[in-house]
Structure 1
Amino acid sequence: MKSKISAGCQVSSLLILIVLVIEYGLFFLAVPFDKVSSLMMLGYIFLTYIITCNNHGRTVHLYYERELSLLFKCIATDFVMGVFLYTYYLDHGKTRGIGILFADEKWWIGYIIMLVMHLISIFALCIFWNKCIYPGNKGKILYIYEKETPKDMRIIDDCISIDETEKKLIAEIMSNEIIYIYDVTAEKRNDILKTCFEAGKDVYLSTKISDIQLRASYLTQDSDQPCFYCQRPAISKKAVIVKRFFDIVISIIGLILTSWLFLIVAIAIKIEDGGSVFYRQDRCTKDGKIFSILKFRSMIEHIEDGKIYITKHKDNRITKVGYIIRKTKIDELPQLVNILKGDMSLVGPRPERPELIADILKEIPEYNFRTTVKAGLTGYAQVHGDYHTDFLEKLRWDMIYIENYSIILDLKILIMTIPTILRGSSDV
């Protein structure tokens, strides 16, 4: 993206100057260099957490480049400062300025001040970056839709319907830097793409099921005409064996490590209402096979009475203990038993109820594609969405997972699940 690259090159020296001024001021607080370095790392860990976990790494992907660029600039400028500090302490090896106020017996005061000041400097740079480096249309995102209005207003700056006049559409495209085309028919989408490319705009397209299938297809030839060879999405037999071995090992380790937690939760549930500890429900896994999923009971016993209810925010059916274990995902831990038995896998599409799948198939016939693999404890759809993400979006993520499967991808999803757990569930 030319405009972003040139803007970044123009402000690099200015960013370095700003950070150095702030950090040199912190230096004269005279906290020892090794402690300064430790506090800087805390600051970067904190900023990285905000970018990757606080609804940025998960939903605001379009701003990812901007935020990561800022993070790397901060690290680069602090590296320059670090060289200066290290050289200075080698030459002088003593406190300077108001650092005399922070003697050894009050070292913790220096720690607190350094941490606070460094975090302030990072956030000041964030504000400077967003307000000054990207003025006007720099980094602005235009959302073009046909049938549905934007679901998440946080990730866009403006939106317009594809049915608006050509003149108005072109004017909006020209006044924004990034164009996001959501669920627009191929014919209309091609016209917009042509306009965007001629104007040098960056374009994001929402995926259709057919797009995901084509991505995993093979290019071949029919006479003098190129064509794509598509197959039903599935995981190879060799990968299935490796995946099963991985599931057995991790589920056994998980059950051993969390056995104490099982006991605590079981006691808490019994103390609250004296009902059963576990809850069983029919769910679908690979090839539509029905199995009995195991969870810690988080709702009032027998409240559903065989009917299908979608859990709502602050649902009054959830018990006090249930609220905690649902929020922290602890209620899902007994599914390690399902994984060990072979009903489920650690990673895969989340299992749904047979009745619910039957209803979904009426609206989304392709939904059966996700049953070519075992249902999972966590999955691509869970780390990229949340409980209330619609079924079509979940299907897209599940198909991307199946098409790109590898044991490395499973490990990546398991790691990505950690911040999802720390964030807490959105269904309570």
Structure 2
Amino acid sequence: MNDQRIPVTLDAVRHAAKTLSGVARMTALEGSRHLSSLVGAPVHFKCENLQRTGSFKLRGAYTRIAGLSAEERAAGVVAASAGNHAQGVALAASLLGVRATVFMPEGAPLPKIAATRDYGAQVRSYGQVVDETLRAAQEYALATGAVFIHPFDHPDVVAGQGTVGLEILEQCPQVRTILVGIGGGGLAAGVAVAVKGLRPDVKVIGVQAAGAAAYPPSLAAGRPVALESVATMADGMKVGRPGDIPFRIVAELVDEVVTVSEDALSSALLLCLERAKLVVEPAGASPVAALLSRPEAFEGPVVAVLSGGNVDPLLMQSILRHGMAAAGRYLSLRLRLSDRPGALALLLRVLSEVDANVLDIGHVRTDPRLGLAEAEVKLHLETKGPEHCDLVARTLGEAGYTVIR
């Protein structure tokens, strides 16, 4: 850890922990019996979704602003964020008596915008992705003299996020693997500095959404590489280029960076809600998605960092539907039946007997593709899983219906 290539030290993380005393909570470490059975070893959740402001971001933001001089504080601070860093900066600035302006992407969830304002910051909307918003905030800093608080690319921010790693080692000293989501890389870098400084035997695994995975090509190239575009439901991971400081740390200390699909993210969010009774946003659920995708790949005990829980209710509704479909809990199909009185009632009776719940039904009787005495029914069903989906389709076929899935 004395390597000059590492721009953040263990001592810096320890100093950040003292700075954050009485400000950031030591969040709970909760066991997951379901994931433990899948992995074959204990799995725990580090619940940063229950942190003040709903994510780990307060740690880095407060550490950075607390380190400013009186003159810098008087000039105010400016930040850019899709939501979690925005709230962290807003609260940290408010606690420290500093004026804050926060730039947020135009598509940022409304609850995150409202919460940022409620914490006392002035909010400005700009850009479609965080990288564009970052540039706008940096230009504002140059024009006004406000201090730019980067969401991940600053040693103080990384050190603050690293306090999560210190807490994990205290709460679960037997840990063998820590899974942590990566956007710009501040959290993963900070956790790696803390953990590798004290327990180099513990593996730190970064997790990225496949549609916003800038780290794998960057690590292959040996330098931060910008993606041409990012597309993921995990707005906390919509970062097209790794930060310079986090990248150096991740390249040196993080054991592996893996990617997860959108289906895996939505399934992970659903699992957190159903099994653990925890509201987690997609970026925060990425470590759980990695466990679901490759349960045999990680040595236990495992700690999965649930980095945030700030999710737009409308997005949550959409993601839950997606997650239930990915888990085989929804079945959509079309089928042909005779266009005669009682035919639809008979179909519904068959579905009832096989215990399939009809969520939506469409009945088409006039279509050039249909025969003279035919009708088509479009069904959206709630089922009990993939095996039940197959049973429903098979039962309908055996009852004489032409099923189109």
Bigger fraction of residues in strand: 2
- TM-score computed with the length of structure 1 as normaliser: 0.18
Larger radius of gyration: 1
